[in-house]
Amino acid sequence: MKIRPSLELLLSNNEIFPLMGEFIDVSNSIPMDFSPSNTDLIEVNLSDTHQFNDYVFGLLEQSGKKYGIGGYFEHRAIYSRSAVFATELQDFRNIHMGVDIWAEAGTPVFAPLDGIVHSFKDNAGFGNYGPTIILEHELRGEKLFSLYGHLAVMDLAHIQVGTAISKGEGFCQLGPFPENGDWPPHLHFQLMWDLLGNWGDFPGVCSHREIEKFKNICPDPNLLIGNLPG
Tell me, yes or no, whether 1 lies in a domain. no
Question: For residue range 115-174, what is the model confidence (pLDDT) as tens digits?
Answer: 999 999 999 999 899 999 999 999 999 999 999 999 999 999 989 999 999 999 999 999
Q: What is the pLDDT of residue 49?
A: 95
The closest of 78, 72, 75, 123 to 98, measured between CA atoms, is 72
Q: What is the pLDDT of residue 76?
A: 83
Strand 170-173 to strand 130-139: parallel, antiparallel, or no bridges (unpaired)? unpaired
Number of H helices, E strands in the chain: 3, 13
DSSP per-residue letters across 7-66: HHHHTTTSPPPPTTSS---TTTEEE---STT-GGGGGS-TTSHHHHHHHHHHHHHHHT-S
Tell me, yes or no, whether 130 lies in a domain. yes
**Based on the structure, what is the number of domains in the chain?**
1
For residue 41, give its domain range.
7-224
**pTM summary value:** 0.92
Pick the residue with more confidence: 81 or 188? 188
Task: Give residue 230's pLDDT band: very low, low, confident or very high (50, 70, 90).
Answer: very low
Average pLDDT over all residues of the chain: 90
Q: What is the pLDDT of residue 48?
A: 93
Tell me, yes or no, whether 229 lies in a domain. no
Section 27-49 average pLDDT? 90
Separation of alpha carbons 70 and 136, rounded Å: 24
Write the CATH number for 56.
Answer: 2.70.70.10
Tell me, yes or no, whether 230 lies in a domain. no
Tell me, yes or no, whether 2 lies in a domain. no
